[in-house]
Chain A
Amino acid sequence: MPLVLTEEQEMLRESARGFLDEKAPVAALRKLRDSNDGTGFSRALWKEMAEQGWAGILVEEEYGGADFGFVGAGVLAEEMGRTLTASPFLSTSILAATALKKFGSKAQKQENLPAIAAGDLVMALAVDEKAKHGPAKTAMKAEKSGNGFRLSGDKTFVADGHVADRLIVAARTAGAAGEQQGLTLFLVDAKTKGVAAERTVMVDSRNAARLKFDGVDVTGDDVIGEVDGGYEALEGVLSAGRAGLAAELSGAGQQAFGMTMDYIKQRTQFGKPVGSFQALQHRAAHLYSELELVKSAVLKALQSLDDNFGMAGVFCSLAKAKAGDVAKLASQEAIQMFGGVGMTDEFDIGLYMKRIRVAQEMFGDHAFHADRIARLRGY
């Protein structure tokens, strides 16, 4: 498949850009932050996005979705990265939709996918337990209890964890922390007795939560995929999430870069635009090159998810590692080139640095994915 967007995907980008610029500019995130909004996103806006087909971008048409594929989802994530739009798109429309679509039972699909596509159901994926990502390190217990399981343990860094109606939880039904074997994915209603959520206000003013599971009972019907064999499904879901985050990072990085270029063309010092100085030009040109590499890696990851889902993991790791690294560089160079005003809360550029820092950490930073790639390459 050629590494370019199709005409349909280009059109999706155009319409997404128009929509977001009008309804969800960076000012919208500021408003949520400054008003200490408890939900962390606008439900009305999310409903509008659902009407555009975004909430169900991955959902099949028979369940009321747009079935636009991962490239389509990536296009939206990238555009939302440009505007720093807060929404449950990653948690619900990418992570949960992928888990249910690829690994869910018919009943689970019927119950959840139409509600996701309609924008009526918010879901969250609970994986991490420690400060650094590592799905195989999952220690949370799911002990056999009657016909079902009883979940006990803590989760952290759960995007939309405090507002989700339902949770997808990775827990250990066998084996020990560090082993891939023995993991199982569970679908848990957030209101179930024993589930407690604490919102963690993060540097990027976007949603995250710590979750506590204190003897939470679930049934066998709540298992997504195979008991003890959930690692593969989890990796598939995480791959989709990593590609989505990489696309968002690409958008945020490109936007930060574009804002910086506009600024250094008009900011004058020593009687000249600072953008005329070679000391800045060469750094800008280097960053431009890096961002081009990110675009290629991200598109390849998204296309791989559509073409050969089971084999896409390594490309998603590549995209996540590269996009995280380069977006960080873009935000760092941005603040330096903006100079003093870049440090002020009034200017938007700092908000990009904050979101990029969080997104590059989620589901594995550069080091996590570089380690993974090195292992695959045998060193």
Chain B
Amino acid sequence: MADLEQFRAETRAWLEENCPKEMRAPMRGEEDICWGGRRWKFQSEAQKVWMERMAAKGWTVPAWPREYGGGGLSKDEVKILKDEMKKLGARSPLESFGIWMLGPALLEYGTHEQKALFLPPIARGEIRWCQGYSEPNAGSDLASLQTKCEDKGDHWLVNGQKIWTSYADEADWIFCLVRTDSKAPKHLGISFVLFDMTSPGVSTKPIKLISGKSAFCETFFDDVKVPKQYGDNVPAVVGTLNRGWDVAKYLLTHEREMIGAGGGGLMGGRGAGEVAAQTIGVEDGRLADTMLRGRIASMEIDGWAFLLTLERMKDEAKAGKGMGAKSAMLKYYGTELNKRRGELLMDATGSDGLEWEGERSEDGKLARSWLRTKANSIEGGTSEVQLNIISKRILELPDA
């Protein structure tokens, strides 16, 4: 314990000295995230300095091993680092799909040489990755994906289309699920393959949503040649050929936890009750619209209980109980809650909330975020898929 206290003191001192003032202000939104990558333009010198200093310590990915660009910190140390960053109000220096998803997959399934080649550039914010999973005809039934990856002797040849690829138009590389065996049962002919987005034959097209501009893209592969190896013992395929579904499932668990946790973000910021009190007014200590008041209070009770559940799951994980399929519960509940909150905020703001353009509404900020919440219970596995997972894996209900 004494060691941890010393680590805390050192960490605090280092952060105090190295975190630029501008990086201690809360992020205004997604636009303040530092994503990194070849084409990344830093928002400010402070953002650049902060990322570089943290990367030099391995603290952009504190839990990863030092040899792969991480900080090599224990769970307790990572928690201390996060605590101290929070106390200082320090922003996250770098976020990316490489950190959230590819990294954990490589650490679990990659060869040493794959890790050594791909992980450090992620940690340093040099290469930005995107995720090629969904296809126009493979949504909830992801394993029916058809993007073809043929063995051409010295290279793979990829043909097909992905959809809902977040930031495909800004990413440098893609980790992609492809069909390498079309005769095998659908789960057993899929591979997890890595390639450069600047390869000839790759093109992207942004998707406009009901909420307006989005990070989503369609991604097309037209005779894309992918090398079999990027170096000694660095195959383009991660894990075993035709067993990419295992890697994908492992990653989907991560993604579910992340999206579910997003439901927690809800309770920060201005609550629906506060917003409603401002628009509608309070009489004798109660919101003037009593019907709406009850609905908001019920939502807040659920929101709070959900936050406590996230906390409990984390504490149980620390105590050595794996989360397993419970992440499906968090994903399901968190996203449904977010939709409820979006609806209530719209109810609370009335016609003000319906404005779509202009400064007053910040170009329809509220209406757009309300609409965006509708995707939460679809992306990363629909609510219905999560309920199936809970039924089968936790409740062990029989198959139809």
| A positions within 8 Å CB-CB of B | 2-4, 261, 264-265, 272-273, 275-278, 280-282, 284-286, 288-289, 292-297, 299-300, 318, 321-322, 366-367, 369-371, 373-375, 377-379
Contact B312 A281 (CB under 8 A): no
Residue of B297, B384, B394, B399 ringed by the most chain A CB atoms within 10 A: B297
User: Smallest distance from the beta carbon of B334 to chain A beta carbons, Å?
Assistant: 10
* A–B complex contacts, Cβ < 8 Å, 15 sampled: A2-B318, A265-B398, A272-B400, A273-B398, A282-B384, A282-B391, A288-B394, A289-B333, A318-B301, A322-B301, A322-B302, A366-B298, A367-B294, A374-B273, A377-B271
Contact B282 A379 (CB under 8 A): yes
Knowing A2-B315, A265-B397, A272-B400, the reply to whether A377 touches B273 (Cβ < 8 A) is yes
C-alpha gap A159/B196 in the complex (Å): 71
C-alpha gap A40/B85 in the complex (Å): 57
Proximity bits, B292-314, A CB within 8 Å = 1, else 0: 01101110111011101101100
Knowing A2-B318, A273-B398, A377-B274, the reply to whether A289 touches B329 (Cβ < 8 A) is yes
Contact B391 A4 (CB under 8 A): no
Name 15 extra pairs, CB < 8 A, besides A299-B312, A379-B276: A273-B398, A278-B391, A281-B388, A284-B395, A285-B395, A286-B387, A292-B329, A293-B309, A318-B305, A322-B302, A322-B305, A369-B301, A373-B300, A379-B277, A379-B282
Interface residues of B in 377-397 (CB under 8 A from A): 384, 386-388, 390-391, 394-397
Q: CB of B319 within 8 A of chain A?
A: yes
Q: CB of B156 within 8 A of chain A?
A: no
User: Smallest distance from the beta carbon of B339 to chain A beta carbons, Å?
Assistant: 14
Closest to B326 in A: A292
Knowing A322-B301, A377-B271, the reply to whether A2 touches B387 (Cβ < 8 A) is no
C-alpha gap A295/B293 in the complex (Å): 25
Contact B398 A379 (CB under 8 A): no
C-alpha gap A289/B306 in the complex (Å): 10
Q: CB of B285 within 8 A of chain A?
A: yes
C-alpha gap A293/B298 in the complex (Å): 13
Contact B294 A370 (CB under 8 A): yes
Contact A374 B397 (CB under 8 A): no
Closest to A258 in B: B395
Residue of B304, B319, B396 ringed by the most chain A CB atoms within 10 A: B304
Note all chain B residues with C-beta closer than 8 A to A371.
286, 297
Contact B333 A293 (CB under 8 A): yes
CB < 8 Å neighbour of A4 from B271, B276, B308, B312: B312
Q: Lowest 7 A-B CB distances belong to which pairs? A: A379-B273, A285-B390, A370-B297, A281-B391, A296-B308, A2-B315, A293-B305
Contact A296 B398 (CB under 8 A): no
User: Smallest distance from the beta carbon of A373 to chain B beta carbons, Å?
Assistant: 6
Contact B315 A3 (CB under 8 A): yes
Note all chain B residues with C-beta closer than 8 A to A375.
285-286
CB < 8 Å neighbour of B319 from A2, A296, A300: A2
User: Smallest distance from the beta carbon of B292 to chain A beta carbons, Å?
Assistant: 9
| B positions within 8 Å CB-CB of A | 271, 273-274, 276-277, 282, 285-287, 293-294, 296-298, 300-302, 304-306, 308-309, 311-312, 315-316, 318-319, 326, 329, 332-333, 384, 386-388, 390-391, 394-400
User: Smallest distance from the beta carbon of B285 to chain A beta carbons, Å?
Assistant: 6
CB < 8 Å neighbour of A285 from B274, B301, B308, B387: B387
User: Smallest distance from the beta carbon of A310 to chain B beta carbons, Å?
Assistant: 20
C-alpha gap A321/B298 in the complex (Å): 9
Contact A318 B304 (CB under 8 A): yes
Knowing A276-B400, A281-B391, the reply to whether A293 touches B302 (Cβ < 8 A) is yes
Closest to A2 in B: B315
Contact A373 B301 (CB under 8 A): yes
C-alpha gap A373/B308 in the complex (Å): 16
CB < 8 Å neighbour of A295 from B312, B315, B399: B312
C-alpha gap A44/B297 in the complex (Å): 44
Contact A289 B332 (CB under 8 A): yes
User: Smallest distance from the beta carbon of A226 to chain B beta carbons, Å?
Assistant: 25
Knowing A321-B301, A367-B294, the reply to whether A276 touches B397 (Cβ < 8 A) is yes
Residue of A272, A280, A378 ringed by the most chain B CB atoms within 10 A: A378
Note all chain A residues with C-beta closer than 8 A to B309.
292-293, 295-296
Note all chain B residues with C-beta closer than 8 A to A374.
273, 286-287, 293, 296-297, 300
User: Smallest distance from the beta carbon of A245 to chain B beta carbons, Å?
Assistant: 16
Residue of B282, B301, B319, B399 ringed by the most chain A CB atoms within 10 A: B301
Contact A300 B308 (CB under 8 A): yes
User: Smallest distance from the beta carbon of B249 to chain A beta carbons, Å?
Assistant: 19
Note all chain B residues with C-beta closer than 8 A to A288.
329, 390, 394-395
Note all chain A residues with C-beta closer than 8 A to B297.
370-371, 373-374, 377
Note all chain B residues with C-beta closer than 8 A to A321.
301
Note all chain A residues with C-beta closer than 8 A to B318.
2
Contact B390 A4 (CB under 8 A): no
User: Smallest distance from the beta carbon of A307 to chain B beta carbons, Å?
Assistant: 14
Note all chain A residues with C-beta closer than 8 A to B308.
3, 293, 296-297, 299-300
Note all chain A residues with C-beta closer than 8 A to B282.
378-379
C-alpha gap A277/B285 in the complex (Å): 47
Note all chain B residues with C-beta closer than 8 A to A366.
298
User: Smallest distance from the beta carbon of B141 to chain A beta carbons, Å?
Assistant: 15
C-alpha gap A186/B308 in the complex (Å): 37
C-alpha gap A2/B316 in the complex (Å): 8
Contact A297 B304 (CB under 8 A): yes
User: Smallest distance from the beta carbon of B382 to chain A beta carbons, Å?
Assistant: 11
C-alpha gap A318/B394 in the complex (Å): 26
Contact A379 B397 (CB under 8 A): no
User: Smallest distance from the beta carbon of B217 to chain A beta carbons, Å?
Assistant: 32
User: Smallest distance from the beta carbon of B274 to chain A beta carbons, Å?
Assistant: 7
Contact B302 A278 (CB under 8 A): no
C-alpha gap A4/B320 in the complex (Å): 11
Note all chain B residues with C-beta closer than 8 A to A273.
398
C-alpha gap A265/B297 in the complex (Å): 36
Closest to B288 in A: A379
Note all chain B residues with C-beta closer than 8 A to A4.
312, 315-316, 319
Contact B384 A275 (CB under 8 A): no
Contact B397 A377 (CB under 8 A): no
Closest to B329 in A: A289
Note all chain A residues with C-beta closer than 8 A to B386.
285
Residue of A272, A273, A300, A369 ringed by the most chain B CB atoms within 10 A: A300
Note all chain B residues with C-beta closer than 8 A to A294.
305
Closest to A375 in B: B285
Contact A282 B301 (CB under 8 A): no
Note all chain B residues with C-beta closer than 8 A to A299.
308, 312
C-alpha gap A292/B384 in the complex (Å): 18
Knowing A296-B308, A377-B274, the reply to whether A261 touches B326 (Cβ < 8 A) is no
Note all chain B residues with C-beta closer than 8 A to A272.
398, 400
CB < 8 Å neighbour of A281 from B276, B304, B397: B397
Closest to A377 in B: B273
Residue of A273, A276, A286, A374 ringed by the most chain B CB atoms within 10 A: A374
